[in-house]
Amino acid sequence: MQLTGVPPRNGDTAAIRRVVVVGGGTTGWLTAALLARALGPAHEIQLVESAQIGTIGVGEATIPQILHINTFLGLDEGDLLRHIHGTYKLGVQLNNWGRLGDSYLHGFGDVGLPLGLLPFHHYWLRSRAGGDTHSLWDYSLNGVAARQDRFARVDKVPGSPLGGIRYAYQFDAARYVGYLHERIPAGRVRRIEGKVVAVNLRGADGFIESLTLDNGQVITGDFFFDCSGFRGVLIEGALETGYENWQHWLPCDRALAVGSVRTKPMRPYTQATARSAGWQWRIALQHRTGNGHVYCSRFISDDEATAQLLAGLESERLEEPRPLRFVSGMRRLSWNRNCLALGLAAGFMEPLESTTIHLVQSGVARFLGMFPDRHCDPVLVDAYNRQTRFEYEHVRDFLVLHYKATERDDTPFWRHCGAMDVPESLARRVALFRRTGLIFREADELFTEVAWLQLLIGQRIEPAQYHPLADDLEAAKLAGFLSDIRTLVERAVAGLPTHDDFVARVCAAPATAPDARSTMSPGVLAGSAS
């Protein structure tokens, strides 16, 4: 995470001393835990949450950046996963997106090896143009391991130039919140029970001065974090920041979630299977399986969506499906005056690629890197908002391509998605790849060239050519180069235990009855009342 402690400014009477986090859930407690670790004892941290307000929870799947949270907070991975009934995640298996029957993996980690100045995929494209039928994922350690339901923590393949396995987690969100709460040092975060009924603004500049709770208590602060979920109690309810709607690119607007009995093997990847008007997730945990259906209400009724979800379960359900409505998009400003919105209060995008916990994490890290005084310099605020918008828009583009890049015409929903316009930034990226096979990562955007490559190839976007310098390698050397990588990958995976065996040995949770409650999504619907 690259966070460092923020010392108080000596002699600065405008220094922030008291911060208030509004909302619990994963967003609120993760924010509080990170602040408690980063800020010195001169900073007081208060978290306001109400037991009367339900918590959607977070999706049970994450991306590898969550490992940085562990390091920063000093968490032991085995202990963490044991308590939160977690499993390991090698990537996302996407089914039926390009065509019915298609399946590919957006795997974490490398695919192949670069050679000279060129990325690996240009050599693979050249070989395929010559009739080679090996899949792109035959050169991926994560891809082959996922195919065989194998897993181990491998930093590097011994005796080879191949990097190791890159992974994330799948876990029970409610247990994760409890785990974070319990491991915050005593006295660092003061939890206050109550529901915010009024946000009191200063007349001079419109900054938040205090909050009034339903029990009459008044909470003052220098800076406020809005983790209140979709309601955006501070950022929208009080500051009227505005919301940018992205539903014309991300058309799904409803979700259902249901837990089912644990199945074996526990797959070391999240599954996202496209349905007639959306997609269904499946996530293997140690005590149950998480399932859900994200869909567009313009193209399917709630009853039909429920029937599709239940028909797609692999095991007996543990509860009645729980509904959620949402609007994809983002706040026009994530930081407004002395308030920073995180999680669903900041915006919502498809949970398809499990990005929301990362967006909370990066939002807090960005804020701490710019740590303001109580005046919240507008130049600083503007820099934060521009960087946040860059991050959100590039994640948005990655998600939009899942819907746009389809050859499906079997339902009105998929015909709509295939015909829709896309953001100009995405259109340029796709056009460049179609013409040249080139992929460029812009600045520090979240998704790497390899992530974009798997999405593009997995959804049947074919480049017209590969890089001409790939032709400089002799045919025999090209064949040997590719064969050697496949052999290294196959041997490395053959030596791995099954995912079930690794979990049982390293982080097996205590035997308990399965939880009936399933959190709302694999990509993280995070926040209190969110």
Q: Which of 206, 117, 120 is nearest to 453 (CA)?
A: 120
Considering the candidates 89, 156, 195, 404, report the single residue annotated as catalytic.
89
CA–chain centroid gap for 332, Å, is 21
| Three-class SS of 274-321 | ECCCEEEEEEECCCCEEEEEEECCCCCCHHHHHHHHHHCCCCCECCCC
Q: What is the dihedral of CA 150, 80, 346, 31, to 10 degrees?
A: -150
* Residue reference for tokens 């974490």: 108
Task: Take residue 191 and report the two structure tokens written for it.
Answer: 């939890």
Q: Establish whether 195 is a catalytic residue.
A: no
Question: Cβ atoms within 10 A of the Cβ of 460, count?
Answer: 14
Q: Which of 98, 100, 92 is nearest to 137 (CA)?
A: 92
Q: What does the DSSP 8-state code read for residue 498?
A: B
C-alpha to C-alpha distance for 361 and 517, rounded to whole angstroms: 25
Helix, strand, or coil here: 150? Answer: strand
Question: Cβ atoms within 10 A of the Cβ of 100, count?
Answer: 12
Question: Cβ atoms within 10 A of the Cβ of 174, count?
Answer: 18
Task: Take residue 82 and report the two structure tokens written for it.
Answer: 């044991």
* Residue reference for tokens 């037991």: 51
Q: Which of 346, 115, 113 is nearest to 231 (CA)?
A: 346
Task: Take residue 69 and report the two structure tokens written for it.
Answer: 């949270």
Enumerate helices (H) and strands (E) in the chain, giving the number of each: 14, 21
Residues catalogued as catalytic: 89
